[in-house]
């Protein structure tokens, strides 16, 4: 299995079950690194490893996890990012934006699986459809998806004429709410800010 196939698997573990079963090379050991602020025992990380196991990647058998990148200082990731790249993993799971950017500046060959608020607005990828480079992953609040989320909501509740969005202005970028308001104007729904 090539690195790109391994990254595809990691980026969409739940979707890639059939692929994982047939794509693993017998006897190959994959190396995975992390550069994330979460502890190894966080619920999200445990769920991630559970999905890897369901797809045939078991730590101690065909998966080695480089342990240093959990609970990382994501405000100053430079030294740890360099150490992880030097360890030559098959892929690095990283996030939020600062660790991804630090890794992106160091390596263009190791696939990076990221989770940030908006990979496009943060300049980490060219677009969601064609990211380019070595970064893939999840863009949590991408404004490119805001109108689509609202369309899905309107389809789910076709009689809805008022939609309220509640958000912490310290956590959500204003352009996300603006995108929802624009979509609301197109769909005759009003968006109320609280």
pLDDT in tens, the chain (194 residues): 454 455 444 554 433 343 344 356 778 899 999 999 999 999 989 998 999 999 889 999 999 999 899 999 888 899 999 999 999 999 999 988 899 999 999 999 999 998 887 788 788 888 877 888 888 887 776 666 777 777 787 788 877 767 666 666 665 667 666 766 676 665 555 555 55
Shared domain for 52 and 37, answered yes or no, is yes
Query: Do 147 and 124 fall into the same domain?
Result: no
Long-range contacts of 59-65 (CB under 8 A, 24+ apart): 62/24, 62/28, 62/29, 62/30, 63/29, 63/30, 63/32, 64/29, 64/30, 64/31, 64/32, 65/32, 65/33, 65/34
Per-residue confidence (pLDDT) for residue 19, from 0 to 100: 35
How much is the pLDDT for 143?
A: 67
Residue 88: which CATH number?
3.40.50.2300
Residue 172 shares a structural domain with residue 124: no
Same domain membership, residue 171 and residue 90: no
Query: Which among 139, 154, 182 is the end of a domain?
Result: 139
> Mapped to the 3 state alphabet, what secondary structure does 71-121 carry?
CCCCCCCHHHHHHHHHCCCCEEEECCHHHHHHHHHHCCCCCEEEEECCCCC
- 150 and 131 within one domain: no
Task: Count structural domains, the chain.
Answer: 2
26 shares a domain with 93? yes
Cα dihedral sign for 152, 153, 157, 159? negative
Same-domain pairing of 108 and 132: yes
Q: Which domain holds residue 110?
A: 3-139
From 122, 139, 156, the end of a domain falls on 139
């Amino acid at each position: 299995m090539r690195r790109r196939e391994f990254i595809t698997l990691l980026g969409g573990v739940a979707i890639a079950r059939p692929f994982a079963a047939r794509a693993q090379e017998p006897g190959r050991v994959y190396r995975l690194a992390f550069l994330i602020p979460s502890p190894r025992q966080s619920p999200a990380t445990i769920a991630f490893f559970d999905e890897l196991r369901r797809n045939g990647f078991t730590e101690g058998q065909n998966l080695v996890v480089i342990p240093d990148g959990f609970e990382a200082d994501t405000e100053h990731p430079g030294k740890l990012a360099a150490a992880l790249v030097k360890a030559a993993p098959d892929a690095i799971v990283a996030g939020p934006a600062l660790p991804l950017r630090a890794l992106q500046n160091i390596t263009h060959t190791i696939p990076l699986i990221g989770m940030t608020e908006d990979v496009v607005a943060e300049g980490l990828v060219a677009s969601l459809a064609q990211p380019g480079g070595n970064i893939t992953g999840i863009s949590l609040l991408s404004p490119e998806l805001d109108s689509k989320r609202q369309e899905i909501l309107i389809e789910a509740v076709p009689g809805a004429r008022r939609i309220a969005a509640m958000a912490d202005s310290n956590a959500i970028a204003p352009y996300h709410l603006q995108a929802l308001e624009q979509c609301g104007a197109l769909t005759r729904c009003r968006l109320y800010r609280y």
